[in-house]
A and B are shown apart, each in its own frame.
Chain A
Amino acid sequence: MKFWQKISLFSLLTFAVIFNASSIMVIERNHRNMLRQEIDNALSINMNIRSSVDAVVPLLRIYNSIDYEKTVLTNIASEFVSKNSGRGSYLEIVADDHRSIYSNLDFEYAGSRDELEQLKPDEIKYILRDIGDRTLLFTSNVADINQKGYIFTYVKDLTPLYAERVDQYRFFIQVDLAACLLYVLVMFAVSKGLTRPIDKMVRTAQGISQGNFSERVSVRSGDEIGLLAANFNRMTDVVESKILELERNNAEKQRFIDNITHELKTPLTSIIGYAHYLKATKYDERLFLEGLNVIHSEGKRLESLSAKLMDLILVKDHLFERKAENVKSVVEELAPSLELRAAAKRISLDFQCRDAFCLMDKDLIKIVLYNLVDNAVKASAEDGRIAIRTFAEGPSVLLEVADEGSGIPAEHIEHIFEPFYVADKARTRSHHGAGLGLAICRSIADIHQASIEAASGNRQGTTIRMTLQALSRENEVKDKP
């Protein structure tokens, strides 16, 4: 059974029980009061008759004649009856020897009238009897006149009272049905309204379980369901972003693998192709040298690629240890190999290093520095200049490598840190590059929670800047020339 149906049904049952019970109690109490009143009334009328009779008893004592007594009693009775005629009131006077003195009863009562037995003077007995379809109240007392007992029975027809009760019940049932119907309708609407957000959440959850992670519940209320919906949405946000992240990571990895495949297979195709050609065709000196050249340079390219991949693996799996180091001394340590690299193109290195302390893994920062200088050398013309700067600036330590070379066109600048991205394919080829150097630098920067960015104008040289977090400010010392 649906939740809203449960709410409606249970509240309807509760309502029906309480409403019916209280209504019945009210009707019954009302009826009882009326009955009590009628009985009191009948008793007092009976008392009245009795007192009228008591008033004439001295007279009757004087005459002491049964006939006279009968006449007097009949007179009193008929006077009373004429006063109360047509209101369902009856009077019966019976002598103790069962002689009927007076009676205007218009019905026969077959049963025994136990209340008349052992009736004591100054005592009124009453009883309710159902005769035919009528309900009658019998009130009896006995009057002693000249040693003879006369039983006065006043009978009141209470049928209207009972009819009234039936009437009230009839009316009550109508009201009850109408009330319950109205209640059910209201409860349906209310419980439907209350559970609609739950339905929405159920549908949304189903949508999500079918893989539609961008679905959200639109419930805007401040109650617990609204709260649940808000939390549900927050949960879905997290799940969705995690899944997107996983998908992105996956796609990135796939792209990386595709790129490696491509970078491995391209030189291999040339090497295998030329080797086979040289092997299978007639010797031709020009082609022989051309082929060997290609095989050699493509082999170098593979070597460089494998070295870079090793670096990348090193960075990814490296259990790096950050220690407080001076960037300047890292540069100084690496300076000889940088000079050697630059010498190949007679490039002069201009070291502008100030002390700058930060937490770093020295070996990784050396990889960054070497890669940046290597790139700068490749981009520079012969006899060019490359500036290497380290300095502290506010809370940051900066490491900059600036060349005066060919620069990077604006459309490539934002991609150059992506693995295998190369701005100038032909030039990269001639340097055996695979587009991994800057990707490695960025991975290392990420490990150090540092940022790395490039600034370049086409034909204006390139500056790559790595921004690390400084260790503390007092370590800043003036640069020594």
Chain B
Amino acid sequence: MNRRILIVEDDVSISNIIKLNLTIVGYETVQINDGMEALEELKREKYDLVLLDVMIPRLDGFELMERIRPMNIPVIFLTAKNTVFDKVNGLKLGADDYMVKPFEAIELLARIETVLRRYGKGESVLSFQHIEVNLDKREATAAREVVELTPKEFDLLVLLLKNKNIALSREQFIERVWGGDYYGETRTVDMHIKSLRKKLGLQEHIKTIYKIGYRLED
């Protein structure tokens, strides 16, 4: 079942770009641009997570947060202000995380995934074409056959699956898989990708994007 995310953001362009990014990796989204309407919508429909802008008309993000706290819905704040006050205020009110604008899509997706997993709403099995990845068992199968992967290859595969249809740069792979303090060559990424393609038969799907990096495509 697809996970539903409510985007509460009054800037249409920002709301749209968030929707595009979430849709492409497989979330279902609804866009709302005003606090009161968001409250109504949350009372009416069930959502797995709310992305909530602080400065929205009628009922601001903090007030809305106060009202929906009893519903126990995960909330990530979107804010233009990165002052300490706003962070503390947002988190004290019971938000699960916050994103300071402008933010990168990969970062937003990662935070959403983290929060969902904390609420037990994370996917434990990711599937793509003939491939299935069990996150709990750290096991990957291709056409139901278990494929032996090194830990780094496994993490790389998970990152590709979670950012399906979005190109990731070699630097992003290194930061996410090897950690921010890795100063090795980006060639390492290429080697691992090559190995993944071969082991899983994904030559057609893991595309090399010129001057950018790699993208997993349907």
Contacts and interface: CB of A to CB of B under 8 A. Distances in A.
A274 B18 CA distance: 9
Contacts of A267: 13
A273 B166 contact: no
Contacts of A29: none
A273 B102 contact: yes
A452 B151 CA distance: 69
Interface in B19-41: 20-21, 24
Nearest to B213: A280
B32 to A, nearest CB: 15
Nearest to A272: B102
A335 interface: no
A280 B10 contact: no
A276 interface: yes
Contact of B11 (A266, A272, A279): A266
Given A273-B102, A425-B57, A281 B165 contact: yes
> Which interface class (under 10, 10 to 19, 20 to 34, 35 or more) fits B?
20 to 34
A282 to B, nearest CB: 7
Interface string A261-300: 1100111111111101101111000010010001000100
> Which interface class (under 10, 10 to 19, 20 to 34, 35 or more) fits A?
20 to 34
| Interface-central residue, A273, A287, A429, by most chain B CB under 10 Å | A273
A425 B10 contact: yes
Given A262-B80, A425-B57, A280 B13 contact: no
A280 B18 contact: no
B17 A266 contact: no
Contact of B167 (A268, A280, A290, A429): A280
A258 interface: yes
B81 A258 contact: yes
B104 interface: yes
Contacts of A272: 102, 104
Interface string A284-327: 00010010001000100000000000000000000000000000
B17 A277 contact: yes
A277 B21 contact: yes
A262 B167 contact: no
Interface string B183-216: 0000000000000000000000000010010010
A195 to B, nearest CB: 47
A287 B20 contact: yes
Interface of B: 10-14, 16-18, 20-21, 24, 55, 57, 80-81, 101-105, 165-168, 209, 212, 215, 217
Interface of A: 258, 261-262, 265-274, 276-277, 279-282, 287, 290, 294, 298, 425, 429
6 contacts: A258-B81, A266-B80, A270-B11, A272-B102, A273-B17, A279-B212
